[in-house]
Amino acid sequence: MSTPDLLLDPQLKYWVLLPISFVMVLVGLLRSNATYLLQPGPKLEEFKALREKQFLKRAACFRQNNGVLTKEEFENRKQYFTATLESNEFYAIVEDPNADPANPLTDPGMNDALMNMAKGNVMNYIPQTIIMAWVNYFFAGFVIMKLPFPLTDGFKQMLQTGIETPDLNVRYVSSISWYFVNLFGLRPVYSLLMGDLAAAELMNQQQQQQALPNIGGPGGPKADKLFKAEAENIQILTHKSIFDGITERVLEKYADELKAL
């Protein structure tokens, strides 16, 4: 470099850079453990609501796997599913069509969901704001490091807050920019510290088994709409059994080997 380097006190590195990183890692770990503790346990679902979901899933399974049934079985089930899906036999709550639409804010289920979302957000933002205020308050007003890569002057405002030197190279930055670098860069560190691959593997396997459709939950569609749609889907199904023309297909597939014999 043509311009001489700015002489920075080495003690700055040991008493500013490392403490900020250390605190951010610890707070991150604390936050993830706290969110885990604040998570509500699985709720006991009302049997009618569960039955509604399971029936819908059953209908969907029938729609996807109807090839394994014979013609007669298929027709029977098709009739049963279209008839039942259009009746209100499996609805969790039979709604009065004339009633006013309920206010979503008074619904207790909705309230719970909102509460959880709020908790998640609070756990995300409060620690970050506190650390940022802490960094700004304790380590303000001096240059702590020189970045190894050049930046455009647009970053000057953000990365050199508190340094009243208009012509300083943007590569010299204050503590708040180290905070930002940490904020984005610590993800792999967290995942190495907390991530247990074996546990994640088990989790993946469990999740695969309990995929039920989301009905009537916050943001989810109403049950009657889903049931109607499923009924229509089943109505237009055309049946083709996997055993149709099986002899020809098997012979065709193994034709070459048969010839070889």
Nearer to other proteins, 113 or 189 (CB): 189
Nearer to other proteins, 156 or 239 (CB): 239
**Rounded distance, CA 76 to CA 183, Å?**
60
Least distance in Å: CB of 18 to other proteins? 8
Query: 216, 223 in Cβ contact below 8 A?
Result: yes
Nearer to other proteins, 60 or 92 (CB): 60
b/e 218-247 (16+ beta carbons within 10 angstroms → b): eeeeebbebbeebbeebeeeeeeeeeeeee
Nearer to other proteins, 87 or 142 (CB): 142
Binding site for other proteins (CB under 8 A): 5, 8, 10, 13, 17, 21, 67, 144-150, 178, 181-182, 184-189, 191-192, 195-198, 200-201, 204-205, 207-209, 240-242, 244
Nearer to other proteins, 204 or 247 (CB): 204
CB atoms within 10 A of CB 127: 16
What does 57-120 look like in DSSP terms, one character per residue?
Answer: HHHHHHHHTGGGS-HHHHHHHHHHHHHHHHSSTT-SS---TTSPPPPTTT-HHHHHHHHHHHHH
Least distance in Å: CB of 108 to other proteins? 31
φ/ψ bin of 220: left (φ > 0), alpha (ψ from -120 to 50), beta (otherwise): beta
Least distance in Å: CB of 233 to other proteins? 17
Q: What angle do CA 132, 138, 142 make, to 5 degrees?
A: 100
Nearer to other proteins, 97 or 150 (CB): 150
- The tokens for 253 are 């597939």
**Rounded distance, CA 159 to CA 143, Å?**
10
